[in-house]
Every structure is written in C-alpha cells, then in structure tokens.
C-alpha cells in the first residue's frame, strides 16, 4: 500500500465518521407509569392548575428533523412555555439549553440510542430513573451533572423556572 492509498483510506474513514455524526438523530419515546403518574398528580396539586400554573409534558410538538436543522444560537419552541436552544456550534455535538418558564413535569421517556447529560443552571431538578421496575429519585443540584445512560427510562420535575443544559451523545 502506498502512502497516498493509506492517506486516502484514512480520509475515507474520517469522512464516513463525520457523516455518521452529522446524521445523528435524537430519538425518544414517552412511556406511561402508574407510580410516576401519582407523583406527577401530587406535584401538579402543589403547584396550581394544570396548563396554567404547571405543565405536564407527555408529548412534543417538535420533530426530529426540526431539531437536527437547528443551528448554533437558534431557539425552537418546545411547547408548554418551554424552548430548546442550540448551545454548541459544532454540528457533531448535540448540546442544548432547555428553558421552562413555569413548573414542569417532563414525562417518563427513553432515548434508545443516546445518553442524556443534564446540568441545571438556575434551579435544582428532580430526576426519576426507572430501575428494576421501581422509580429512583435523584436530586440534581444547580451546577451538578447527571448522566442517564441510553435505553434507561427517566423523567424530570422542575418546580421553578429553569434552564437546563442538555447534551445527547
């Protein structure tokens, strides 16, 4: 193999790798869970009126195509007085700032192919992880980071307006 062939092979591999990062598609599936529904009902009662004082996000109005086209600094309306802003200029990175104006319960969901890295920036967030058919409660303090591995059901409660840095890998 010549040096030129070796370089071409290396560039070919790198080009293929770059394509796979550019075609990265964030997938999620929302799930129902009786135990979590009971927690959400208590949370909503403590915060006021559903869809006025507090939101329970069980679906999203955005599409994965819209999210993948979001450029650095651009913001996408996520519904329920929440938004998602692209926070990294590298196309291969998927870091966003998720902001909510009112208390929210983000329903139990799963990312089959990506881990989710969360860092609350304004107020603490309560994360629920489903392990062995039980919900585990984790309080993530401002500035701390929590990583939910791929294919693990999780949910979040944010009792105050908040901005959360989210990275999907």
pLDDT given at position 90: 77
Nearest CA-CA partner of 40 in 102, 101, 107: 107
CA distance 64 to 158: 24
Q: Residue 8 falls within a domain, yes or no?
A: no
Domain count, the chain: 1
pLDDT given at position 25: 54
pLDDT given at position 14: 41
Q: Residue 12 falls within a domain, yes or no?
A: no
Domain, as residue range, for 130: 26-168
CB 97 within 8 Å of CB 163: yes
CATH number (domain holding residue 147): 2.60.120.10
**Could you read off the pLDDT tens digit of each residue along the chain, which spans 169 residues?**
665 555 455 444 444 334 433 444 556 677 788 999 999 999 999 999 999 999 999 887 777 678 778 899 999 998 899 999 999 887 677 899 999 999 999 999 998 888 999 999 999 999 999 999 899 999 999 999 999 999 999 999 999 999 999 998 8
Q: Residue 10 falls within a domain, yes or no?
A: no
**What is the pTM for the complete model shown?**
0.80
Sign of the C-alpha dihedral computed for residues 151, 33, 109 and 98 taken in this order: negative
CB 43 within 8 Å of CB 57: no
CA distance 109 to 58: 9
CA atoms within 13 A on the CB side of 159: 13
Q: Residue 14 falls within a domain, yes or no?
A: no
Q: Residue 42 falls within a domain, yes or no?
A: yes
């Amino acid at each position: 193999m010549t040096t030129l062939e070796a370089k071409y092979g290396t560039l070919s591999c790198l080009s293929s790798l770059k394509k796979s990062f550019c075609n990265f598609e964030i997938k999620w599936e929302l799930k129902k869970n009786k135990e979590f529904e009971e927690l959400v009902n208590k949370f909503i009662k403590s915060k006021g009126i559903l869809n006025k004082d507090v939101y329970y996000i069980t679906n999203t109005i955005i599409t994965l195509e819209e999210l993948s086209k979001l450029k650095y600094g651009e913001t996408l309306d996520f519904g329920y007085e929440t938004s998602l802003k692209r926070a990294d200029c590298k196309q291969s990175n998927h870091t966003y700032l998720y902001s909510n104006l009112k208390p929210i319960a983000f329903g139990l969901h799963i990312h089959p192919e990506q881990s989710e890295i969360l860092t609350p920036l304004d107020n603490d967030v309560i994360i629920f992880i489903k392990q062995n058919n039980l919900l585990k409660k984790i309080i993530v303090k401002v500035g701390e980071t929590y990583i939910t591995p791929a294919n693990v059901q999780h949910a979040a409660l944010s009792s105050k307006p908040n901005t959360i840095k989210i990275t999907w890998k």
